[in-house]
């Protein structure tokens, strides 16, 4: 409605009619203002809910937060007969309403300073499930292995059941004598010895990218 045009028409009408028209215009104006304000408030609330309810993931090692989206598991002393080495990253879903999926992607695998991820993939020495990786998986090729398992579904954070919103990424490094691979133990034991003579870096390094978010990622 063109309000100015209606106001100009008032001059041609009786006083009683003008009063009624003015009241109607005022009611329409107040209704429009109220409807606009309600729409604006609703949009703001919805926007706030989108922020509050979105998933929020944090990673910790020994209670210290990791700010990167990748993690590196390393062993500085890697040799035949070593004690199993276990390392843990804790993943926390801080969102209060939405569950989250956790996925891992291998980025790099270094053995004695050499990048071998492509070699492991090409020779079938990586086994995967929905929530685990096994590296150096063929006992015919390697006398050791690296096993990674993780919780791939985290429930929304609930103070009454916090454990459901927390999951660990666990990495196990193992090089046992008792697997019957004496020749491989000797071969890779010599490689380890030669590496340690000239290097101070870690003997083995596994780097993974963490993706965490909605169920459909």
Please provide the average confidence, as pLDDT, over all residues in the chain. 77
Residue 2 scores a pLDDT above 80: no
93 touches 156 (CB < 8 A)? yes
CA–CA dist 18, 22 (Å, integer): 6
What is the SS3 string spanning the chain? Answer: CCHHHHHHHHCCCCHHHHHHHHHHHHHHHHHHHHHHHHHHHHHHHHHHHHHHCCCCEEEEECCEEECCCEEEEEECCCCCCCCCEEEEEEEEECCCCCCEEEEEEEEEEEECCEECHHHHHHCCCEEEECCEEEECCCCCCCCCEEEEEECCEECCCCCCCHHHHEEEEEEEEECCCCCCCHHHHHHHHHHHHHHHHHCCCCCEEEEEEEEEECCCC
pLDDT the model gives residue 13:
54
> How many whole angstroms separate alpha carbon 181 and alpha carbon 141?
9
Q: 25 falls in which pLDDT band (50, 70, 90)? A: low
**Percent residues over pLDDT 70 in the chain:** 68
pLDDT of residue 70: 82
Q: Taking CA 69 as the corner, what is the angle to CA 203 and CA 119, rounded to the nearest 5 degrees?
A: 40
Whole-number pLDDT of residue 28: 60
Measured distance between the N- and C-terminal CA atoms of the chain, rounded to whole angstroms = 49
Q: Answer whether 207's CB lies under 8 Å from 108's CB.
A: yes
**So what's the pLDDT on residue 160?**
83
Token pair 């991820």 in the structure block, residue? 117
Q: What confidence score (pLDDT) does residue 53 get?
A: 32
pLDDT value for 43: 29
Average pLDDT of the residues in 170-191: 86
Query: Is pLDDT above 70 for 11?
Result: no
Mean pLDDT of 124-139: 94
Whether the per-residue pLDDT at 181 is higher than 60: the answer is: yes
14: tokens are 């009786």
**Range in 14-28, 63-77, 180-194 the model is least confident about:** 14-28
Task: Confirm whether pTM is higher than 0.85.
Answer: no
Kindly indicate the confidence band of residue 182, based on its pLDDT and cuts at 50, 70 and 90. confident
Tens digits of residue pLDDT in 136-151:
999 889 999 999 999 9
The per-residue pLDDT for 41 is 34
Model pLDDT, residue 9? 54
Could you read off the pLDDT of 57-85 as tens digits, one per residue? 777 777 777 666 788 999 988 988 899 99
How many Å apart are CA 145 and CA 87, to the nearest integer? Answer: 14
């Amino acid at each position: 409605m063109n309000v100015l045009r209606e106001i100009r028409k008032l001059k041609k009408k009786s006083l009683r009619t003008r009063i009624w028209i003015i009241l109607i215009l005022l009611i329409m104006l107040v209704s429009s203002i109220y409807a606009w304000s309600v729409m604006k408030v609703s949009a703001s609330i919805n926007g706030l809910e989108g922020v509050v309810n979105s998933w929020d993931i944090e990673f910790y090692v020994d209670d210290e937060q990791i700010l990167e989206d990748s993690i590196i598991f390393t062993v500085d002393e890697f040799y035949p007969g070593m004690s199993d080495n276990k390392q843990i990253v804790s993943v926390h879903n801080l969102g209060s309403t939405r569950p989250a999926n956790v996925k891992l992607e291998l980025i790099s695998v270094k053995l004695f300073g050499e990048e071998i991820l492509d070699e492991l993939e090409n020779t079938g020495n990586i086994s995967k499930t929905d929530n685990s990786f096994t590296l150096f998986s063929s006992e015919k090729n390697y006398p050791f292995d690296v096993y990674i398992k993780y919780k791939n579904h985290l429930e929304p954070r609930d103070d009454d059941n916090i454990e459901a919103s927390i999951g660990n990424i666990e990495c196990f490094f193992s090089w046992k004598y008792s697997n019957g691979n004496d020749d491989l133990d000797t071969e890779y034991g010599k490689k380890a010895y030669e590496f340690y003579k000239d290097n101070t870096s870690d003997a083995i390094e596994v780097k993974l990218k963490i993706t965490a978010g909605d169920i459909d990622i």
